[in-house]
Amino acid sequence: MEYQAHVRHMKDVQEGKKLVITIRDLSPGKHKYTGRVARVQVSRTPEALANWEKLWVHSVVGLKDPQPWGMKIVEELGITVPGKPYSDGDDRVHG
């Protein structure tokens, strides 16, 4: 399956690193782009790209990294996360 995510700082997405991000499902159909929160590990090793899910990363202004990452979902954290409105838990939600 393929997913996309937006991150505040592209440099935070690094080889082997684990991140908490909102992943959006890119499967075609009415539910494309629906999101959930997960702790994931990303890698661009040939094994990861071949065997893991595919993740397309977008920057804070929506620019798409043309190279995908391999992504392994380490932990599902739910549809939504605890947090106050406007609290901007970016460290938590966006890696």
Residues near another protein (CB under 8 A) are 6, 8, 22, 24, 29-37, 58, 60-64, 79-90, 93-94
> Given the complex with another protein, which of 24 and 54 has the nearer CB atom?
24
Dihedral of alpha carbons 29, 32, 38, 39, sign:
positive
Least separation in angstroms between residue 44's CB and another protein is 21
> Given the complex with another protein, which of 60 and 74 has the nearer CB atom?
60
Least separation in angstroms between residue 47's CB and another protein is 29
Least separation in angstroms between residue 46's CB and another protein is 28
**Structural tokens at position 7:** 């991150």
Residues contacting residue 87 through CB under 8 Å, at least 6 positions apart: none
Least separation in angstroms between residue 40's CB and another protein is 14
Residues contacting residue 5 through CB under 8 Å, at least 6 positions apart: 21, 22, 23, 24, 55, 56, 57, 58
Phi-psi region of 79 (alpha: psi -120 to 50; beta: other; left: phi over 0): alpha
> Given the complex with another protein, which of 34 and 45 has the nearer CB atom?
34
